Amino acid sequence: MTSKEESRYNFKGLFKYISTVISWTIFVLLIIIGILLFYYFISVRLYATKGQKYEPQFSVYTIVSQSMEPTINVYDVIINTKVKNIDDVKENDVITFISTWEVTYGMTITHRVVGTKTLDDGSTCLITRGDNNTQEDQSCVKKENLIGVVKAVVPGLGRIQAFLSSSLGWLLVILLPALYIIIKDIIKIIKLAKNKDSQKEEKNAKLEKAYKDIKKVKKSKE
């Protein structure tokens, strides 16, 4: 084998290995997503039979603002756990909530708890501020707006999400490996068809040779 053929063989083997790893990774991710969706579907149905609204125990968000830097940076992924009692949230906890301030109304915010106050109805309201902000948030967080307390931060994971959601990411990670697998299967089918044709031709040639041999034997006897 020449060096050129060897390098071509090594490149083909490397490409095959990478495509296999990517394909299996995608397959495993799809299985995980399927299991999570199945769990979500069953949970929703169970809560619906009880006349309750389903609230997930865990929630995952990608940070898109600099308000919590340097503690939590843009593209970091946070994992929250649901809180049953707002009084369990302590000062200095980082929480995720739905903003009720008119400027950011309805947006999902992740900020640190810097204090609490008691409302007229006796309920607790959390005062929050981003670590990178100089002022407290204009509205406090009530129980119905609290999503959860941040329990884990995965640095930079959101970059992968952003890349996969882009056209280039979709092309490189999803489309190309899938196309490679399809082309590979087509080549296999073509090779199998060619092998069958060659085997059939070989069989016919053997039969023809045997037939000729029989004719020769008959002629020699005559």
Report domain extents, the chain: 1-54, 56-157, 166-198
Residue pLDDT, tens place only, 110-128: 999 999 999 989 999 999 9
Inform me whether the pLDDT recorded for 217 exceeds 60: no
pLDDT value, residue 209: 67
Residue pLDDT, tens place only, 173-211: 667 777 777 787 788 888 777 777 667 767 666 666 666
pLDDT value, residue 12: 65
Kindly state the percentage of the chain with pLDDT values over 90: 36
Instruction: For the domain covering 56-157, report its CATH number.
Output: 2.10.109.10
Residue pLDDT, tens place only, 57-104: 888 888 999 999 999 999 999 999 999 899 999 999 999 999 999 999
pTM of the complete model beyond 0.75 = no
pLDDT value, residue 150: 96
Please give the radius of gyration of the chain, using alpha carbons only, rounded to the nearest integer.
32
pLDDT value, residue 130: 96
Q: How confident is the model at residue 39 (pLDDT cuts 50, 70, 90)?
A: low
Between 182 and 170, the more confident residue is 182
